[in-house]
């Protein structure tokens, strides 16, 4: 076989693929493994979306290639949603684009902007795609530490002037994966001003905006006047509608950035299946949608409170998140994030994600995804009690 491209030589194995391998090895020993690792909703896609998909699949007009940019109907549903939800107006023809999931769109946007040696400002800990695809494209990820002391927000004032002037992209993600942190309107205003000053594209990953608790409502970067001059925002149906396997999302924002992403996409993929887009339209427009999201948030709130109480009883410093469905929990003294995650898997049969997998500043934490029933969640915490010494 020929030698692999140099660009992939330094890329570590994808985080969740490795977790799956370790889990499979324990399962092969006959252990009943409980997974708190991957953020994949365990409850089904709502019936009104599934029913729309069934009808669309049977329609012969959707059996051909989709529109490259996404159907105008889907893009209009997306921009109408943003107008209702955030009060932000976009032209569905030029300021919105359908995606085969946010992961695809985020990675392709990096390729649309990053040349050899270009800088992207990347939070740490963070969803791995930001850093990995910057490196694959030949760019340099400049790490912005997310610390508890700063509310897990990047300190933009700490970025050196010379770095800021060379940077092309700034990634933010709130409600945050993996920390569950949320952002203030003041932070968004600061980020927009920073990107305007240094001519940087602000990339807001807003995948968890509808998953909020305790009276908190997540804002959009487009709450900031003039944000469209410097920003794009990605919004996914995966988590709020339990549609991770459907691979459907969209991006809205700056027309030039949307066009640049479109160049990469039209030369890489042929768009998302139109029947999936039809189902997504139903999710975005159905009068049943708000009630479904409220119901799901009530489920995650109960799970959060069960997990936090159980973990605190063990002696772990679990703090309730206001957004997402993740708990970001410090590991006990004497453990690294990897050693603690390994202990829980090998001894308790419980999968958690080591924080170091999200970057060096994730060390000292584990991420717990609340994607299983209350009964299994209680069982997982009960198992952990036997092996955690705090």
pLDDT exceeds cutoff 80 at 257: yes
pLDDT of residue 24: 84
Does residue 159 come out as left (phi exceeding 0), alpha (psi in the -120 to 50 range) or beta?
Answer: beta
CATH of 6-44+290-387, one of 3.90.1150.10, 3.50.50.60, 3.40.50.1000, 2.30.140.10: 3.90.1150.10
Q: Sketch the domain layout of the chain as residue ranges.
A: 6-44+290-387, 47-285
Does residue 383 come out as left (phi exceeding 0), alpha (psi in the -120 to 50 range) or beta?
Answer: alpha
Q: Which residues of 244-280 are buried (b: 16+ CB within 10 A; e: fewer)?
A: bebbbbbbbbbeebbebbbebbeeeeebbbbbbbbbb
Helices (H) and strands (E) counted in the chain, each on its own, are 12, 12
pLDDT of residue 275: 98
Q: Average pLDDT of 230-259? A: 98
**Tokens standing for 370?**
């609340």
Q: Of 387 and 96, which is predicted with more confidence? A: 96
Question: Using CA atoms, how far apart are residues 266 and 108, in angstroms rounded to an integer?
Answer: 11
pLDDT exceeds cutoff 80 at 18: no
pLDDT tens-digit map of 347-364: 999 999 999 999 999 999
**Tokens standing for 30?**
């006959």
Q: What sign does the CA torsion over 106, 112, 115, 121 have?
A: negative
pLDDT tens-digit map of 224-242: 999 999 999 999 999 999 9
pLDDT exceeds cutoff 90 at 25: no
pLDDT tens-digit map of 180-226: 999 999 999 999 999 999 999 999 999 999 999 999 999 999 999 99
pLDDT exceeds cutoff 90 at 388: no
Domain 47-285 in CATH 3.40.640.10? The answer is yes
pLDDT tens-digit map of 273-321: 999 999 999 999 999 999 999 999 999 999 999 999 999 999 999 999 9
Which SS3 state, helix, strand or coil, does residue 69 take?
coil
Q: Of 219 and 25, which is predicted with more confidence? A: 219
């Amino acid at each position: 076989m020929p030698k692999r491209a140099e660009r992939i030589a330094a890329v570590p194995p994808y985080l969740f693929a490795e977790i799956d391998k370790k889990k499979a090895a324990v399962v092969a020993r006959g252990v009943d493994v409980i997974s708190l690792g991957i953020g994949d909703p365990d409850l089904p896609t709502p019936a009104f979306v599934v029913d729309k998909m069934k009808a669309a699949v049977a329609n012969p007009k959707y059996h051909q290639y989709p529109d490259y940019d996404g159907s105008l109907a889907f893009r209009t549903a997306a921009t109408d949603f943003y107008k209702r939800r955030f009060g932000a107006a976009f032209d569905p023809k030029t300021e919105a684009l359908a995606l085969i999931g946010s992961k695809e769109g985020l990675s392709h946007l990096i390729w649309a902007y990053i040349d050899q040696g270009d800088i992207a400002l990347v939070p740490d800990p963070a969803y791995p795609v930001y850093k990995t695809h910057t490196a694959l494209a030949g760019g340099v990820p400049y790490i912005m530490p997310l610390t508890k002391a700063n509310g897990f927000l990047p300190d933009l004032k700490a970025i050196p002037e010379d770095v800021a002037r060379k940077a092309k992209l700034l990634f933010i993600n709130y409600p945050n994966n993996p920390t569950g942190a949320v952002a203030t309107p003041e932070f968004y205003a600061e980020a927009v001003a920073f990107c305007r000053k240094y001519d940087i594209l602000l990339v807001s990953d807003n995948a968890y905006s509808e998953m909020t608790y305790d009276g908190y409502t997540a804002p959009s970067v487009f709450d900031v006047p003039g944000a469209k001059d410097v920003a794009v925002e990605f919004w996914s149906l995966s988590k709020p509608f339990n549609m991770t396997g459907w691979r459907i999302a969209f991006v809205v924002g700056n027309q030039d950035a949307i066009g640049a992403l479109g160049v990469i996409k039209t030369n890489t993929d042929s768009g998302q299946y139109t029947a999936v887009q039809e189902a997504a339209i139903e999710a975005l427009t159905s009068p049943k949608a708000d009630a479904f999201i409220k119901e799901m948030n009530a489920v995650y709130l109960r799970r959060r409170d069960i997990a936090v109480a159980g973990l605190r009883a063990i002696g772990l410093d679990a703090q309730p998140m206001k957004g997402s469905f993740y708990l970001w929990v410090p590991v006990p003294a004497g453990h690294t994030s990897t050693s603690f995650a390994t202990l829980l898997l090998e001894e308790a049969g419980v999968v958690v994600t080591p924080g170091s997998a999200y970057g060096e500043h994730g060390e000292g934490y584990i991420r717990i995804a609340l994607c299983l029933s209350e009964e299994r969640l209680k069982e997982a915490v009960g198992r952990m009690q036997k092996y955690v010494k705090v």
